[in-house]
């Protein structure tokens, strides 16, 4: 569970071993809002993740998959963030909200809320999965919530199924306790992921729950490795904004046989 921390200008991505022989590689970046870094992942970091996959596997089909959390369409957000410049030559973008889904079993011995969660069938159809998260702090119910590689996976879940008051968000994934739901997310689909990257070039800090309204502070680091939980813990340590409860909950979680 080794984790690598590099200065952003020196970031040279080495993908997980599964990428080397993969026919298809799924990259799930945090691109859910029409606002650039640190609200979302920076294009230079995402470009290097794609390049890292290409260096070890020139022929793989690379699928950039994200489900947005905004009234704007995924296509418009992709355009505003400049993702289109990274597409082509075997790299394509897919809107997670348009993909066929199926229930994935929660592998935790004692799920917090969801015994199963619906996510794209595509997760089963690719050979390698990489989460590329931003480094963000919000505050919910006076508790620190850090969004890194695991929380980034929220964008995979269909809004039509997990919406609450707003049709643009996945409000059901914050009830009754977001830290417990993040654990369910990890033990359903997070365990399928082969690698994680956290763009800590800047850290985002919100004074409240809003994940797209706040300020950025330079950090100048990229954190990456093959284990989402280990990468998230290292990223939170580097951020110095407090450790979220879900990390301790997941360390103590027992998986079903």
| pLDDT confidence of residue 257 | 60
* CB distance 191 to 105 below 8 Å: no
Residue linked to tokens 């490795």: 225
CA 167 to chain centre: 21
- Whole-angstrom Cα distance, residue 104 to residue 109? 15
| Among candidate residues 213, 21, 26, 183, the one with its CA nearest the CA of residue 109 | 183
Look at residue 115 and give its three-state secondary structure: coil
Strand partners, 196: 131, 225
| pLDDT confidence of residue 165 | 87
Please state the pTM of the whole predicted model. 0.96
Q: What is the CA radius of gyration of the chain?
A: 17
* CB distance 239 to 218 below 8 Å: no
Residue linked to tokens 């030559």: 89
Look at residue 201 and give its three-state secondary structure: strand
For the chain, list the domains and their CATH numbers: 3-251 (3.40.50)
- Whole-angstrom Cα distance, residue 248 to residue 170? 24
Q: Which mean pLDDT values do the consecutive 10-residue runs of the chain (257 residues) have?
A: 93 97 98 96 98 98 96 95 96 98 96 97 98 95 92 97 91 93 97 98 94 95 97 97 93 78
| pLDDT confidence of residue 2 | 87
């Amino acid at each position: 569970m080794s984790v690598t921390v590099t200065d952003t200008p020196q970031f040279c991505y080495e993908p997980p071993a599964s990428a080397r022989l993969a026919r298809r590689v799924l990259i799930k970046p945090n691109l859910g809002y029409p606002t650039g870094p640190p609200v979302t992942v920076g294009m230079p970091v995402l470009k290097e993740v794609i390049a890292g996959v290409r260096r070890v596997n020139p022929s793989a089909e690379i699928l950039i998959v994200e489900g947005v959390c905004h009234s704007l369409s995924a296509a418009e957000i992709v355009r505003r963030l400049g993702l289109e410049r990274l597409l082509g030559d075997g790299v394509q973008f897919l809107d997670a909200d348009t993909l066929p889904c199926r229930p994935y079993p929660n592998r935790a011995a004692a799920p917090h809320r969801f015994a199963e969660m619906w996510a794209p069938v595509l997760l089963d159809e690719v050979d390698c999965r990489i989460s590329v998260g931003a480094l963000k702090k919000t505050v919910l119910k006076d508790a620190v919530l850090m969004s890194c590689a695991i929380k980034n996976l929220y964008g995979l879940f269909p809004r039509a199924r997990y919406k609450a008051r707003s049709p643009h968000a996945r409000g059901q994934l914050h009830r009754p306790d977001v830290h417990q739901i993040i654990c369910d997310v990890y033990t359903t689909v997070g365990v399928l992921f082969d690698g994680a990257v956290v763009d800590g070039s800047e850290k985002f800090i919100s004074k409240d729950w809003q994940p797209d309204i706040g300020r950025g502070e330079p950090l100048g680091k990229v954190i990456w490795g093959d284990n989402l939980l280990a990468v998230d813990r290292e990223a939170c340590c580097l951020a110095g904004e407090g450790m979220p409860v879900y990390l301790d909950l997941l360390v103590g979680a027992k998986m079903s046989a």
